[in-house]
Structure 1
């Protein structure tokens, strides 16, 4: 009998916040063992993608159906403390605002209780031609439910 690994455990919602855990690997760091600045953005992107997936927002299906796709239109990030090789990190994401064609998500990267990085991302839903388009109504209601800490309608 072959041992089967446990299923992949994605992030999870804790109230209105999505929690996504990760570990810092050698490939994430520079020669001094400090996380390279662009990797914080990758960590945040992974967490946002996981949050959307858990919320039932199928980005791939929307793209394949020709409806459109999300694009980051504004990003602010502040580096507070460095993450280091082998650190266990937690990315906490919260929906701050839901608009017709966009959503604003605040994110923090923590090591234990210490905040390492915080950022705010505005993502707009764009048509296949690259023009802003209303996000699907079901998606807006899911974002609003997340923002209010309600059970996510899937």
Structure 2
């Protein structure tokens, strides 16, 4: 699994960006990123966005009895990423509801930000025990709401 390319996450306006690098394990024999690996980059960016917002997912599960899960995802594969590419995975809130929210994500190649992959992801808030929808607590809505 790929790790961040180094440095800290950068928030630019309402868009969060997380750097990542393409490694051998992400690619096929031709050095092109395997399509399912893009999901790893996007997931890590969402996890780091939560963390940068002060939201610890393990703490939420243990102390508040809730988890955030991917409910729906739409992807557009525009161009391939290749071995050793430096990428930036972005997260931006698109829609906020009482028990779910949508984020818009892009995977950009640096230094010329070309959108290789674009995603729209619906995240649902669930009760950690029953895995049934539940409202997002107000204090969390304030943390994830766009500024």
Q: TM-score if structure 1 supplies the norm length?
A: 0.86
Aligned to 1:37, the other structure's residue is in SS state coil
Q: Which residue of 2 aligns with 1:18?
A: 16
Residue 35 (structure 1) aligned with residue 33 (structure 2): yes
RMSD: 1.2
Task: Give structure 2 stretches of 5+ with no counterpart.
Answer: 1-5
Query: Which residue, 26, 32, 44 being the options, matches 2:42?
Result: 44
Runs of 4+ that moved beyond 2 A: none
Structure 2: distance between partners of 1:33 and 1:61:
38
Describe how 1:44-123 pairs up with structure 2 within 5 A: 44-65=42-63, 67-111=65-109, 112-123=112-123
Q: TM-score if structure 2 supplies the norm length?
A: 0.90
Q: Which residue of 1 aligns with 2:3?
A: none
Question: 1:122, CA displacement in angstroms?
Answer: 0.5
- Tell which structure's C-alpha radius of gyration is larger: 1
Q: Which residue of 1 aligns with 2:131?
A: 130
Superposed CA deviations along residues 125-147 of structure 1, whole A, max 9, x for unmatched, are 10020100011211111121xx2
